[in-house]
Each structure stands twice: as structure tokens, then as C-alpha cells.
Chain A
């Protein structure tokens, strides 16, 4: 079926009314409240529970909370985490915690911000924080190492400090040596 096109009237062919209509809309918005955001100078306040980049944390005593159990490395769906365990050499600084990762890397190009690492961590050592826009000049720069992750993660107030508590309990029961972790 062919629908014949209606020829434009003289008023329509003038175009000026349509242009004027457009100006009117623009003018109306000109005095309204602005909705665009001046990114990156201006940023979203992300809602609570937002899943951004995962970082490592220290507790209020400055102890690296991660004990290198490698559960996050195992659970991570895109295999973004790579942990180097400490090996058998004794580390006097870690006390009764015994273990600390020698290296801990997260490949932020791989990470899908799923939060499994935070969920699986038995030590509350890794948290998905609010960072959502990560950038770098090279791929290597996007692999965050332990120091960088700890610096970005900051301090986490630990309610329990179970290792410290264990060391104190043992010492009170006369079990020596009862080393307490030194940061």
C-alpha cells in the first residue's frame, strides 16, 4: 500500500515556527537545575554496598590481615588474583599468625568486581571498595601488587582481633612462646 505524502503547507514551509519552538525548549532548560556532572572533577557518591575494586586492608594495629590462605585466589572466577605464599622460612614479625603473603597481585583488567573474594575471605582481609574507574598507561600498571593494594585499602577496624586474642589467652595459660604479631 502506498500512503501519499501530504504536501507541506505554507506555514510549515516557512520553517521559522519550528526553529522558534526549539529555541523555546532550550530556553526553558537554560534556567532549570543542571543534571550533567563535571566528570572527572565531580564524582558520584556511590551507594552503600557498591562493589568497586577489591583492596587489602590492615587492622587498627597496622597488621596486614591477609594470611595468604589463597581461598580468594581459588574462588575468583576470572583468575584475577595471584598470591605467592611465604614458604617455610620463619618470619619472626608475624608471631602466632605464622603466615603472610609474600606477594599478592590483583589484575584489575581481569577483575569483574563480583565480590567473591570478600565473601570467601576468612580473615576479613579483602574488601570491595568504592573505586570504579581504574586506569593506567600499560597492562602491567593495572596489576596491583601487595603494597599498592594495602595502601589503597587502608585500615579496617577489627572487632575481634582473633590472633591477638589467641596470643594473649595462650600467654595467660603459660604457653610460651606466645608471640604477638608485630606490624
Chain B
């Protein structure tokens, strides 16, 4: 796995902080110290130097975000260091260059620090033979389950066997069999025959999560991974072990036998389950989402994400999604309509509303762009606004106490109070007293906030946009079907003020369309705003209008996002 942690080699002449090594004959300057798995400076290793030189060293047990174990031997390379004379001075070749003494023994690149003027060789016949040998040993007891193995297609054993292995097996003996289909915990299945004993999973759960739950038992060919007896492997990060397991030993129960990975289209997106905003890839095929996997972002989630967020995608494909534009008939009952008619009716209704008689309850699950447009509408209507808080329990790793993905965005746009939801009692009060006659709700169920159905029935207009049915959508006068984040593009601002964008993975259902499109048309009718020319233009306009976004543009966000310019007021 590539990582962005290896500091780029410094420009200019090598200072005391850096040293020169040669990788396959090409000289490269690397820092003396590079970040280790915790980000602390540690002597730069050969594998880091090779990566900086753009040379791939195959590896199984090494992972840039885990302590080095050095047990798989896949990364063996040959190397040489400057030869020293009896006076401990480097011996020079006749042409004045350093004489290099090639080490008689190879070294594992993942755990060997580089030294000045070291030469690393990764393409010699010896290295080729060692790789073949390591793979041959890994495969002697391997079941070759590829046709039924969920890892096939993203399996390092398959990939390296093709790239560096031998074509045929010389193993005539019977293979050692181990337990298969082992129920390791609520979300994982273990196949011990496929395990190559790299210990990545053990180190992850022990050193990253702090739950020392996995270990090896027995010895030699019978060496077997297992969980602590009587205690299932169950913490909120277990599924990351399925990602880092280089083979199909650990696989997800949720994704088990659902789809082969080579059919999945990967779309960069974000987790919406809390304010951390873990980066992820949506794996989808033909408008069905099959899985989320974490996407590396050093500034947010490293390589990991929590199980709860990862498994929170089923609602996107729910059958009861709202897919129709609906208006309440004057004589009662629903009338299915189309977007132009619905938007014209909503625009007219809002234009007639007296200033101060409108309340707007937004959702901190909406994108920055949508919240921006809502804030423009709220200003025009003189509306009382707020968003709904979703408090939860934070943990020591990624999960944040704010379970909304975009509370920061809602507050920066001026839509939500600080703390989030502080305005809700005032809105409720307005509804009760009859001062508020029109209620606009985006993506929330207000009946859960204490707004009685009878109260809603009394209002002039209840305009609701949502994705899934709720008591509020049932009581709406105008229902605007919206999109899940996976069906549109947009940005969220996480709790630390990092603006990140997400892409569209699947098509919206039925007549549903992205809220930002709906809101663009409402804002055009009510506030005279122009067309923004797509989400890029809308984001850029927002960045011009909202001081905290100063200097940002859609394209500047890149894949990893960018920090807000202004410090955001902390949530009490």
C-alpha cells in the first residue's frame, strides 16, 4: 500500500539530515529519519527509500501504519555498503568513486535502516530466486480456493504469484489442513488455510485499537490464527483487518459472496455516520452499493474507518425510498406531480409568506452547498432556522461525538445555532403560538423533535424534502424527494473544519434529484440567484460568499480536502 507519510526527499544538496542511497543503480536522497507507523521520526528503512525511488518491493507483513514485524521475508533485497580499509576509511575505486562491498547476505527491506551511500538491489537473480522461494513456501499449504475466495482479484498472494512466483508447484505431499469458515466475531469470517501468518491483523487490533484479541497458536505448519478463547473478536474496528489482510483469510461477513471485486466501480466518497468524515470508496455495480472501504487520508482517518460507518449503506438501496414528487390535494390525499409543477407551487407559496412567518429546519447531513442555498433562502424569507443535533459517544480512535457529518457546515453557513439545535425550542414556540405559518424541513423528522402532527396540520404550508419516509413526510403538503450522498456530488465540513468532497456512485431513484438542484431553482425564483453551472460553480460561488471558505475552489479541494480558512467556533 502506498502512503503519503514518507517525507519527500529534500531538494538541494544533501544536508546532515539526509543521505544518499542508490536503488537499482539510481542515486536518491532520502531523509535520515522518516515517520514510522505512529508518525514519529525513525531511521529511514530500505523499503521507504525504495518507495521514494519509485521501486516496488513486494511485501506482506509490512504496513506503513503498523509496527514492523519482519516475519514474511517477501521483501528480501540484496545490498552493498561502502567498503572500509583497515584504517576504517572508505576504499576508492581507481576512478575515485566509492568501492561498494556487496553484502553476502540479503536483508529484509521493511526493517533494515539505510546507511550513507548504501546500494540496494531489487532486480538481481538472487532477489528473484528469494521471492520465488518465499512464494513457494507460502503456497505449499495454501488451499488455492480462489474460485470461492472473496479476496480473489485484490489478493496479494495472487498478484505476487503472477508477478514473482513460479508457474508450477513442485509440492507432491499432502497439504496441512486447518479450520475453515471460522466464525471469528460478529462481522468476520476466518479461513485459517488461507492465512499466510503475516500478523498484520494481530498488530492492528493490539497496537491501533488497543484490543489484544488475536494471536497465533501451534507451531510450524500448524501455526494458526485464532481469537482469545471464548471471546469473539468484536470491537468497532474489526473490519479493517479484512482490508489489511493481504489474502482471503479474513473476510467480511457483510460482503461475503455478494459480488466479485472486479465488477465493483470505486467512487471516492465520505462516511456520513459521524463528524469525522472518514474518506472511503463506494464499491457499486449497476446502481447497487455493495461495500464501503476506507480511502487513505493522512489528515482525517489514516487508513482506517469504523465498522458502524462502513456498514451504514443499506438505507441507500431501501425499497421504500421517496421517489415521487407529491403535493397534498386541497381536498385531502396525495397528488403525484412533476418537478416543474411542484417547484412552481413551492416558489409561489414561499413568495406569499409574510416575513417572519417561516421556519426552516435543516439537516446537518446535507452538503455545504445545499446548506448555503438554504441559508440564502432563509435570509430572503426572514426565516427562523436551525439544524438537528445528533449526539453520540466518542471513542479513542475515529468516532466523534457529533453524529452529523456536516454540523460545522451548518454552523458556518449561519443556518444552525451554536450549539446545534439551540434555536429549535424557539421554532417550536413559534409553531405553537401560531406565529410560524410555513415550515420548511430538509432531511429531518420534526415529529421526533416534539412537533405534534396536529400542529403541522394547522400550518399554511409544510414543505418537506427527504430521502426516506417518516411521519413528517407523511404530513407534508409539498414533498420533494431527495438524494442520498452516494447519488450526488457535494462537500461536507468535518468537525475539525476540513472541507472534503464526495462523488456520485449510483443514480438517484425514481424522480428523486439532488437537493442542490432543487434549491438552485427555488433560489432562482425567490432570491433571483442565477444558475451556477453545476456543483463546481455552486461551490465556487459559496466560497466567494462565505468568508470561512475564502480562497477555496472545487478543484482546489482535490481528493483529500482542504481546511477552512477561519477557525470554527468550538461546540460547547
**Chain A partners chain B:** yes
Asked if B256 and A88 make an inter-chain contact with CB atoms under 8 angstroms apart, the answer reads: yes
Give 11 pairs: A residue, B residue, CB < 8 Å, sorted on A. A68-B257, A70-B260, A71-B147, A88-B254, A88-B256, A98-B148, A98-B257, A99-B147, A173-B176, A175-B178, A175-B180
Q: How far is the CA of A169 from the CA of B193 in the complex (A)?
A: 13
Q: How far is the CA of A73 from the CA of B174 in the complex (A)?
A: 33
Asked if B147 and A169 make an inter-chain contact with CB atoms under 8 angstroms apart, the answer reads: no
Residue of A nearest to B189 (CB): A88
In the complex, A97 has a CB within 8 A of chain B: yes
Known contacts A69-B147, A166-B143, A175-B180; 5 additional CB pairs below 8 A are A71-B147, A74-B260, A85-B260, A122-B146, A175-B177
Question: Looking at chain A's contact residues, is the secondary structure mostly helix, strand, loop, or mixed?
Answer: loop
In the complex, A118 has a CB within 8 A of chain B: no
- Closest CB of chain A to B444's CB: distance in Å? 33
Range class of the B interface residue count: 20 to 34
Q: How far is the CA of A123 from the CA of B144 in the complex (A)?
A: 12
User: Within 8 Å CB of A122, what residues of B?
Assistant: 146-147
- Closest CB of chain A to B287's CB: distance in Å? 15
Cβ 8 A contact of A123, one of B147, B152, B177, B260:
B147
Binding site for A on B (CB under 8 A): 143, 146-148, 152, 174-181, 253-260, 262-263
Binding site for B on A (CB under 8 A): 67-71, 73-74, 85-88, 90, 96-99, 122-123, 166, 169-170, 173, 175
Cβ 8 A contact of A169, one of B148, B174, B253:
B174
Q: How far is the CA of A10 from the CA of B262 in the complex (A)?
A: 81
Asked if A86 and B257 make an inter-chain contact with CB atoms under 8 angstroms apart, the answer reads: yes
User: Within 8 Å CB of B146, what residues of A?
Assistant: 69, 122
Given known pairs A97-B148, A169-B174, the reply for A85 and B180 (CB within 8 Å) is: no
User: Within 8 Å CB of B181, what residues of A?
Assistant: 90, 98
Residue of B nearest to A173 (CB): B177
User: Within 8 Å CB of A69, what residues of B?
Assistant: 146-148, 152, 260
Closest 10 CB pairs of A and B: A69-B147, A170-B177, A88-B256, A99-B148, A70-B260, A175-B177, A122-B147, A173-B177, A85-B257, A86-B257
User: Within 8 Å CB of B177, what residues of A?
Assistant: 166, 169-170, 173, 175
Asked if B263 and A67 make an inter-chain contact with CB atoms under 8 angstroms apart, the answer reads: no
User: Within 8 Å CB of A70, what residues of B?
Assistant: 259-260, 263
User: Within 8 Å CB of B152, what residues of A?
Assistant: 69
- Closest CB of chain B to A164's CB: distance in Å? 14
Asked if B180 and A96 make an inter-chain contact with CB atoms under 8 angstroms apart, the answer reads: yes
User: Within 8 Å CB of B256, what residues of A?
Assistant: 87-88
Given known pairs A67-B147, A67-B148, A166-B143, the reply for A88 and B180 (CB within 8 Å) is: no
Residue of A nearest to B255 (CB): A88
Residue of B nearest to A94 (CB): B148
Residue of A nearest to B252 (CB): A88
Asked if A175 and B258 make an inter-chain contact with CB atoms under 8 angstroms apart, the answer reads: no
User: Within 8 Å CB of B255, what residues of A?
Assistant: 88
Instruction: Count chain A CB atoms within 10 A of each CB in B148, B152, B180, B259 and give the residue with the most.
Output: B148
- Closest CB of chain B to A52's CB: distance in Å? 25
User: Within 8 Å CB of A71, what residues of B?
Assistant: 147
Given known pairs A98-B181, A99-B148, the reply for A87 and B258 (CB within 8 Å) is: yes
Asked if A87 and B257 make an inter-chain contact with CB atoms under 8 angstroms apart, the answer reads: yes
Residue of A nearest to B146 (CB): A122
Q: How far is the CA of A45 from the CA of B176 in the complex (A)?
A: 48
User: Within 8 Å CB of B260, what residues of A?
Assistant: 69-70, 74, 85
Asked if B263 and A74 make an inter-chain contact with CB atoms under 8 angstroms apart, the answer reads: yes
Asked if A99 and B143 make an inter-chain contact with CB atoms under 8 angstroms apart, the answer reads: no
Residue of A nearest to B222 (CB): A173
Cβ 8 A contact of B253, one of A67, A85, A88:
A88
Q: How far is the CA of A159 from the CA of B176 in the complex (A)?
A: 22
User: Within 8 Å CB of A87, what residues of B?
Assistant: 256-258
Asked if A88 and B257 make an inter-chain contact with CB atoms under 8 angstroms apart, the answer reads: yes
Residue of A nearest to B174 (CB): A169
Q: How far is the CA of A74 from the CA of B262 in the complex (A)?
A: 8
Q: How far is the CA of A97 from the CA of B181 in the complex (A)?
A: 11
